[in-house]
Structure 1
Amino acid sequence: MTETTVILLLVVVTALGFDFTNGFHDTANAMATSIATGALRPKVAVLLSAVLNLVGAFLSVEVALTVTNAVIRIQNSDGTPKPDLIADGGSALLLIVLAGVIGGILWNLLTWLLGLPSSSSHALFGGLIGAAIAGLGWSGVNWSGNGEKLDGVLGKVVLPALMSPVIAGAVAAAGTWIVYRITVGVAAKFTDNGFRWGQIGSASLVSLAHGTNDAQKTMGVITLALIASGEWSDTGNIPLWVKISCALAIALGTYLGGWRIIRTLGKGLVEIAPPQGLAAESAAAAVILSSSHLGFALSTTHVATGSILGSGVGRPGAKVRWAVAGRMVTAWLITLPAAAVTGALMWFVADLIGGAGGAALIFAALLGLAGYMWLHSRKAPVNHDNVNDEWEAPVGSAV
């Protein structure tokens, strides 16, 4: 087995590990409101979300192609790999990809431990960008494309990150306000029961949309590694085995449920009633599906959080915990640069050793740090039994 093959295998395993963390990190985006209002039992909710994430992963490849073509500069104008980047069999470029994905995973796990619904997408992109800058310099990142259309990091990552939560929040606020205006005078027990049924449909749509967007990102990362190693050259398509493995990884992670983050989104931001939940989920699904169609690699976490906040603003008399929202926004702002620094550090360590030895070292570091954070989380566990406890007495949450 060649050195390049060893590094490629580590990249594939690590990327699937990221996909797994993305699944349990982002389960809350689809199901937090349904769990909080009692529309779905917690275990049923995560199972439904897992199945629909699996299905959604096969419905689109636009976001996956964004990862391979719009973030790191490794291709010529015709999409083929640049000769100078694969002269050594691609091992140098594979180290960049591996270091970047590790940076994304570590940030994902840290924010999960703290119960912060930060962006898995921007953790991944941040890690890749930091590793690319460390290994290739600033020119190794596709910052803005060629200027002819929205492209590159600014056009397809940063701009959607700024706009999507605002749009989702506005749509959810308007929808919530309209719902309460229409149902004024109707007994709450009738409206709540009806909206709970509606929530099941809207939450399912968000899960499906999540699969079309977030599962694609890891598909793109693995394809990026395959291109770097010379194992794949079609930049317009994703290998079938990559689609299947990524879909299964994110579905499994979703089924395990990121209960700490589900708690924060379902109970920490707003006390959610079923009409709000339906409005928030519908707004989130519309924004995510639109972005997947356009190839924008937005954060489903940003969208879900924005829509939940919007549902609180749109409901007369609702209490919005702006302090919790402020901590989330802070986490959003530092996610990309923090993951970038981590990705760059991982690359420097791997490059110091070099080759398969360097790749194995940072992979071992990932396993050690991930194990430590998991053990630390067991000191104050959050699970399906206590996820809906009153927020005033939070269980194992740092926010």
Structure 2
Amino acid sequence: MSDRTDPQLRDQPEPGWQVLDRDLSRISRLELATSYVAQPLVAVGMGLVFVALAALWAALVSGGGSGGLVIVVAAAFAAYLALNIGANDVANNMGPAVGANALTMAGALAIAAICETAGALIAGGEVVDTIAKGIIAPSSLGDEASFVVAMMAALLSSALWLNLATWAGAPVSTTHAIVGGVVGAGIAAAGFGAVDWGGMSRIAASWIISPALGGALAAAALWVVHKLVIDREDKIAAARVWVPVLIAVMAGAFATYLSLKGLKHLIGLSFGHALLVGLLACGLSWVAAKPYILRRSRGLENRNKSLKVLFQVPLVLSAALMSFAHGANDVSNAIGPLAAIVSLLHGGEATAAVPLWVMLIGALGISVGLLLFGPRLIRMVGGQITRLNAMRAYCVALSAAVTVIAASWFGLPVSSTHIAIGGIFGVGFFREAVEARRMRQMTGAVELPEMASEERRRRKLVRRSHFMTIILAWVITVPATALASGLMYLALKALGALS
């Protein structure tokens, strides 16, 4: 082989195969860079295809006639909103399980897509008055045309806000987004008198109640797990006694949660009957969990890391049940305004039953949005706010179910998004308090040792940047969507959409 460093050979032409290899290497690097840059565009393109198919589907099944074009445009807006609900809201159900390594990302996406679709189609809302939440009514806007355009403005404004929030990495309440859109369009159409401000005040109160209650319950649950299992000298023996109880409590809570939220349109159980269902599920789960935990705990080392094995199956089941309940309830956020438009234009009322083809747009849209755009926010919720393991993720899931039950008891409107993220904040801040106490015990000091502010921030177990971003997004969700919706209503009116 020739030595190209030899001065006598340096000016001689290179062999053809070396030139070819170098050119192929450059082409390969260019191909790799192009594919990396184009990856996000593939998901966007597939999302646009889904929106176009939804519009085509609406044109085929709506029967044309009066308002046919309006229905097609509204179907496209609803499909776009459903995509963004799947991208943003479902992360709260799957993030803790993925962050605790109980589920892989692929497994989480598959389970969530199936359960979200099943919840939407099997137990989805039969009426669309749950969307407006009593905020505005068609009669308050003077005529049906104004109501139709108001619903279209609400759909588009809430979808754009969710898209922006997902891009910024902020999990926000889709219910609050669509309510804000309805409020803004209602004000633009008929003034402030068109809005039920009593209902709005209850929604605003949930901004504080939901995350605070979810965080407090998650922290309390983690404290109980520490006392019963983690801080015991023989952790495995304690786990054999108490983990079946913890699993039974979670099963009972989720059975009650599902009876109240996920299956309410199919069965219509009272609160007392839902509690009885939960107690029955609690007892059966305890009986089933005892031998399961005994078998799984054999041969485990006496350390915290071993305990995560015992919580994996409950975490997977809780994530699946939360997704089912989410699909049953929040699909109405995507298709409620569309169903109202379809019903009004076809001579019905805004609270008529939702057509199956409309439900399909919402159900499939949430699943497609989750598969295309969900992984980024799932990773953020599961691992970038605070570090989750199986026990902490269990506490987050349990707090979500119990908080919804408590809110149903008191008749409070709460956001599942706020509850889940509040639970993650709760376990993170609880761990910070435990760590600070441990440091004081080690040093014997009343206060922590002095250290640079940068180092103190680095040692925080809850990332303050994410905390502030999410809180800010929560606060401005309703005002932002209301403003955007009002402007869109006026723009549609100026373009002659009301004529």
Quickly name the TM-score band, shorter chain normalised.
0.7 to 0.9
**Aligned residue in 2 for 1:174:** 220
Q: Deviations over 1:310-342 (max 9, x none)?
A: 122334338222342122111111111111111
Q: 1 CA distance for matches of 2:337 and 2:484? A: 17
**Aligned residue in 2 for 1:374:** none
Question: Aligned with 1:70: secondary structure?
Answer: coil
CA RMSD for the aligned pairs? 2.7
- Is 1:71–2:135 an aligned residue pair? yes
Mark the CA change 1:219 to 1:232 in structure 2 (over 3 Å): closer, same or farther: farther
Mark the CA change 1:36 to 1:333 in structure 2 (over 3 Å): closer, same or farther: same
Alignment of 1:54-203 (within 5 A): 54-57=117-120, 58-61=122-125, 64-68=128-132, 70-75=134-139, 84-86=142-144, 90=145, 92-144=146-198, 152-155=199-202, 157-183=203-229, 184=231, 185=233, 186=235, 187-203=303-319
Question: Aligned with 2:138: secondary structure?
Answer: coil
Question: Aligned with 2:378: secondary structure?
Answer: helix
Question: How far off its partner does 1:239 sit?
Answer: 3.1
Q: Deviations over 1:157-203 (max 9, x none)?
A: 32333312122111111111111211123221321111222211222
Q: Pick from 81, 105, 120: which aligns with 1:42?
A: 105
Q: 2 CA distance for matches of 1:261 and 1:116? A: 8
- Is 1:327–2:469 an aligned residue pair? yes
Question: Aligned with 1:354: secondary structure?
Answer: coil
**Aligned residue in 2 for 1:225:** 341
Question: How far off its partner does 1:288 sit?
Answer: 4.3
**Aligned residue in 2 for 1:8:** 71
**Aligned residue in 2 for 1:309:** 425
One-letter identity of the residue aligned with 2:206? P
Question: Aligned with 1:271: secondary structure?
Answer: coil
Question: How far off its partner does 1:231 sit?
Answer: 3.9
**Aligned residue in 1 for 2:256:** none
Could you tell me whether the CA contact under 8 Å between 2:428 and 2:461 is conserved in 1? yes
Question: How far off its partner does 1:135 sit?
Answer: 1.5
Question: Aligned with 1:232: secondary structure?
Answer: coil
One-letter identity of the residue aligned with 2:173? S
One-letter identity of the residue aligned with 2:209? M
Q: Deviations over 1:195-245 (max 9, x none)?
A: 222211222222122113211222322232234424432726433333333
Deviates more, 1:123-132 or 1:245-254: 245-254
Could you tell me whether the CA contact under 8 Å between 1:65 and 1:237 is conserved in 2? no
Structure 2 stretches lacking a partner, 5+ long: 1-63, 236-302, 436-459
Q: 1 CA distance for matches of 2:397 and 2:488? A: 37
Identical aligned pairs, as a percentage? 28
Could you tell me whether the CA contact under 8 Å between 2:129 and 2:350 is conserved in 1? no
TM-score, length-scaled by structure 1 = 0.77
- Count of aligned residue pairs for this structure pair: 339
Q: 2 CA distance for matches of 1:63 and 1:300? A: 20
Q: 2 CA distance for matches of 1:68 and 1:339? A: 14
Could you tell me whether the CA contact under 8 Å between 1:64 and 1:216 is conserved in 2? yes
Q: Pick from 346, 350, 370: which aligns with 1:254?
A: 370
Structure 1 stretches lacking a partner, 5+ long: 76-81, 145-151, 358-399
Could you tell me whether the CA contact under 8 Å between 1:281 and 1:304 is conserved in 2? yes
Question: Aligned with 1:206: secondary structure?
Answer: helix
Question: Aligned with 2:386: secondary structure?
Answer: coil
Deviates more, 1:202-211 or 1:329-338: 202-211
Q: 1 CA distance for matches of 2:374 and 2:413? A: 21
Q: 1 CA distance for matches of 2:158 and 2:427? A: 30
One-letter identity of the residue aligned with 2:204? V
Could you tell me whether the CA contact under 8 Å between 2:127 and 2:354 is conserved in 1? no
**Aligned residue in 2 for 1:205:** 321
TM-score, length-scaled by structure 2 = 0.62
**Aligned residue in 2 for 1:263:** 379
Question: How far off its partner does 1:278 sit?
Answer: 0.9
Mark the CA change 1:213 to 1:288 in structure 2 (over 3 Å): closer, same or farther: farther
Question: Aligned with 1:355: secondary structure?
Answer: coil
**Aligned residue in 1 for 2:395:** 279
Mark the CA change 1:292 to 1:354 in structure 2 (over 3 Å): closer, same or farther: farther
